[in-house]
Structure 1
Amino acid sequence: MRARARCPAILLVVCTESAVAQWCATPIEMGHPGWRLAPVVAGPHNVPVVTDPLAAVNAPELAVLSAVAHGGDVEVQAITKALLAALEAIDERRARLYADFVLMMLPEAGRKHLEELMIAGTYEYQSGFARKYVAEGKAEGRAEALLLMLDARGIAVSEEARGRILGCAESARLDEWIQRAVTVESVDDLFS
Structure 2
Amino acid sequence: MPSLEHESLAMLFQNRPSLAAEILHNALKVDVPDYKRARVETGDLTEWNPAEFRADAVVVFEAVAPVLAVVVEIQLRRDKGKRWRWPVYLAGLRARTRCPAILLVICTDAGIADWCAEPIDLGHPDWTLTPLVLKPEAVPVVTDAAEAVRDPELAVLSTVTHGAAYDRARMFHALLSAVAALEDVDRAELYIDIVLRALPGTPATELEAMMKSDASPYKSDLARRNYARGAAEAKVEAILTVLEVRGVPVPSEARERITACTDVAQIEAWLKRAAITRTVNALFD
TM-score by length of 2: 0.39
TM-score by length of 1: 0.55
Identify which of 87, 91, 107 aligns with 2:179.
87
Give ranges in structure 1 of 5+ residues lacking alignment: 134-192
1 or 2 for the larger relative contact order (CA 8 Å, sep ≥6)?
A: 1
Give aligned-pair identity as a percent: 37
2:76 matches 1:76: no
Aligned CA distance change for structure 1 residues 131 and 77 (closer, same or farther; 3 Å)? farther
Note the C-alpha offset of 1:41: 2.6
**Does the 8 A contact of 1:118 with 1:130 survive in 2?**
no
Identify which of 73, 91, 102 aligns with 1:11.
73
Q: Which has the larger radius of gyration?
A: 2
Q: Deviations over 1:128-148 (max 9, x none)?
A: 367749xxxxxxxxxxxxxxx
Match of 1:108 in 2: 201
2:96 matches 1:2: no
Aligned CA distance change for structure 1 residues 71 and 15 (closer, same or farther; 3 Å)? farther
Instruction: Measure, in 1, the Cα distance between the counterparts of 2:138 and 2:131.
Output: 16
Within a 5 Å distance, the mapping from 1:112-131 to structure 2 comes to: 112-124=205-217, 125-128=219-222
Amino acid at match of 1:75: D
Number of aligned residues: 131
Instruction: Measure, in 2, the Cα distance between the counterparts of 1:132 and 1:70.
Output: 29
Q: Deviations over 1:106-132 (max 9, x none)?
A: 122221111111235452434236774
Note the C-alpha offset of 1:49: 1.0
Note the C-alpha offset of 1:16: 3.6
Note the C-alpha offset of 1:86: 0.7
How well do the aligned residues superpose, as a CA RMSD in angstroms?
3.1
Match of 1:143 in 2: none
Amino acid at match of 1:128: L
**Does the 8 A contact of 2:74 with 2:107 survive in 1?**
no
Give ranges in structure 2 of 5+ residues lacking alignment: 1-42, 46-53, 61-68, 76-105, 228-285
**Does the 8 A contact of 2:113 with 2:133 survive in 1?**
no
